[in-house]
Structure 1
Amino acid sequence: MLRPTTFVLALLAAGAALAAEPVFPPGSRIGLVPPKSMKLTRGVAGFQDPATGAAIVAIEMPAEAYSTLVAGFGDEALKNQGFTLKSRDKLTVGKSEATLVAGEQNDNGRAIPKAILLTGDGTMTALVIAQLPVGAAQAARDEAKAALKTVALRPPLSVEQQVASLPFRIGDPAGFRPVRAMAGNALLMTDGPKDVVKDAEQPIMIVAQSFAPAPPTAEQRDVFARQALVANTMLKETVLERAQGFRLGGSEWHEIVAKAKDGPSEQPVIVMQTIRFAPDGYIRMVGIARADKRDEVMPRFRRLVDGVALK
């Protein structure tokens, strides 16, 4: 027969086990039991300790990415990436194998404590990264590593579930349909039967919310917008037709219309990038279509952009 003290301890342990269920960021298939000091982050699939800046980020990638990533998890490969390996664990996530490495990442002479878990279930690849402040205590490192050992994967979410989890809503889709949400803060839309769009064969619109601080001045917003467009790896030979900032509905906006070429196919395309700035972030919307579809698609881009609103 259990003594009262033993019985109470057993109950507490059982309660803790029941409470320690994986937490899934909105729209993410990757969940885990975060350290008590970490809370869900806005706009990113992950968790953060607001006091220390320690964070855990969950990244979903196609299933095909697994073989490439696992090749980079070897001891020598990690060393070549500036990662000093402290420990390596082989785990099981569901029915899938997983690799967990912990150590320190060299960043311009700073040793940043990190733990990284890689797994996949045949339908996706999951990369989960815990990063701590320089000089973090061993207890904090152990806690982050323990959190990664609780990683769980859930079945694919429906498109409706993904869209519902986003921090914004689409008022008028203008004939475009949602394909998938990305990172809990972005949505890919297209007009056409294919979900994977190649060679600009279908027009696309990407809507993404960021909670990074917005540039404070009109000049800085203009520079920011131009750099964001030029950095788009989907495009090449980008030539701006117009770029302008304006104020609408109490918010600062910036819009660029440009000609470019689709990177892989060199198909001529038209691009419209619209950014709506707010004090605590911005929404960036990028529409791309074949140049010969300009007259038909551009008014629809305009309707879709005008109907995007924060929740």
Structure 2
Amino acid sequence: MKLIRPLAALALLAATALPAFAADAVFPPGLRLGMVPLVGLNTAKTFPGFESEDGNVKVLITELPPAAYGEVVSAFNSNPAGANGVKQDKVETPAGLAYFTTETGKAGDTPVKRYSMIVPGAGFSGYVAVQVPENATKIYTDEAVRQMFASATTRKQVSAEEQIGLMPFKITNLADFKDIRTLAPGSSIILADGDEATGYESKPFMILGLIGATPQQADDRARFAQEAALQIPGVRESRVTMSEPIRINGQQGFETRIDGISGKDKTPVTVVQWIRFSSGGASLRIIASAPRDQWASAFTRFRTVRDGIQPKG
């Protein structure tokens, strides 16, 4: 009896760690992928996903490009046995067939078990990474994690209000942009006339976000702004047509315009980059692109959005 009781208690505790499938899936703010978290896990404070009260058990949830899922499936099929101690598996979910791996490793000096899962979504791939310290694996077992993965589901849309609310600044005027999509929760967001399915490049769009430390001297800022503009992803054959300091809502800034080619259809575009410099902390960076024949009307909308960005609080 002395042995049976502790074993029974442990079995009961492990069973309670399984997700309660009668419960609704929880979606991290701004994301289209959600799941039923294991018992004892709550919404994480510093990353999208869930964590235990002590922060040692972590479930990171994010979105990857749509092609990522197919690449993982191909990798699984080409090496179904796995390699280097990585165990491969798959599980049916409400979102579709998920592929996941299990392996051991270390977080600093702490032995941990790691799980990675990818699942298909409409216009994206959902990705989940789980880390469980070795001393918690009797509660958060392989089967418990598998069942949590099995609860993965997607939603078609995240409201514009929810996505904008995550940003570290207020966007007070959307200038009639209808497609709002978080690129990095709480860090960058895209406003567009097009969508992911058809591609953004053929219509006007804007990317708003923060960047880290920026130069303080005027000459350095000019050089920094031009170099950043010429490195904008997706724009080819870039040529700077204008670059000058400006004031943005009373703060020092820099406007740089480039002409280039963008998208698979090689659309001629004009792109404007605005950087609103901060004397300390992160600076605001806006990238706005439009096909050259739509530039005049699009630029007015771009300025409307830019001038409506205000600090929170």
Q: In the alignment, does 2:170 pair up with 1:174?
A: no
SS at 2:288 equivalent? strand
Cα drift, residue 230 of structure 1:
3.2
Which residue is equivalent to 1:215?
A: 214
Of 15, 18, 31, 2:34 maps to 31
Which residue is equivalent to 1:259?
A: 259
With normalisation by structure 1, the TM-score equals 0.67
Cα drift, residue 235 of structure 1:
0.7
Q: Deviations over 1:174-223 (max 9, x none)?
A: 3333343334344332347x66455843211122x34x643364476656
SS at 2:265 equivalent? coil
Q: 1:61 to 1:16 in 2, by over 3 A?
A: closer
Structure 1 unaligned blocks of 5 or more: 1-5, 106-111
Q: Which amino acid aligns with 1:276?
A: R
Cα drift, residue 288 of structure 1:
0.6
SS at 1:40 equivalent? coil
Which residue is equivalent to 1:189?
A: 191
Q: Deviations over 1:219-255 (max 9, x none)?
A: 7665654454333332101112233456655755343
Q: Deviations over 1:64-113 (max 9, x none)?
A: 6533331123574997xxx73432333333373322213379xxxxxx98
Which residue is equivalent to 2:5?
A: none
Cα drift, residue 273 of structure 1:
1.4
Q: Does the 8 A contact of 2:269 with 2:290 survive in 1?
A: yes
Which residue is equivalent to 1:40?
A: 45
Q: Which amino acid aligns with 2:148?
A: T
Which residue is equivalent to 1:108?
A: none
Q: In the alignment, does 2:161 pair up with 1:156?
A: no
CA distance in 1, matches of 2:116, 2:180: 29
CA distance in 2, matches of 1:173, 1:113: 44
Which residue is equivalent to 1:109?
A: none
Q: Deviations over 1:258-309 (max 9, x none)?
A: 1111242333211011233554434432111122333332232112111123
Which residue is equivalent to 1:138?
A: 134
Cα drift, residue 154 of structure 1:
4.1
SS at 1:25 equivalent? coil
Which residue is equivalent to 2:233?
A: 233
Structure 2 unaligned blocks of 5 or more: 1-7, 106-111
Q: Does the 8 A contact of 2:260 with 2:269 survive in 1?
A: yes
Q: 1:53 to 1:235 in 2, by over 3 A?
A: farther
Q: 1:276 to 1:96 in 2, by over 3 A?
A: same
Q: Which amino acid aligns with 1:308?
A: I
Q: Does the 8 A contact of 1:87 with 1:102 survive in 2?
A: yes
The 10-residue stretch of structure 1 (254-263 or 238-247) with the greater mean CA deviation from structure 2? 238-247
With normalisation by structure 2, the TM-score equals 0.67
Q: In the alignment, does 2:306 pair up with 1:301?
A: no
Q: CA RMSD in A?
A: 4.7
Q: Deviations over 1:135-187 (max 9, x none)?
A: xx634788697657524324323543544543143222233333433343443
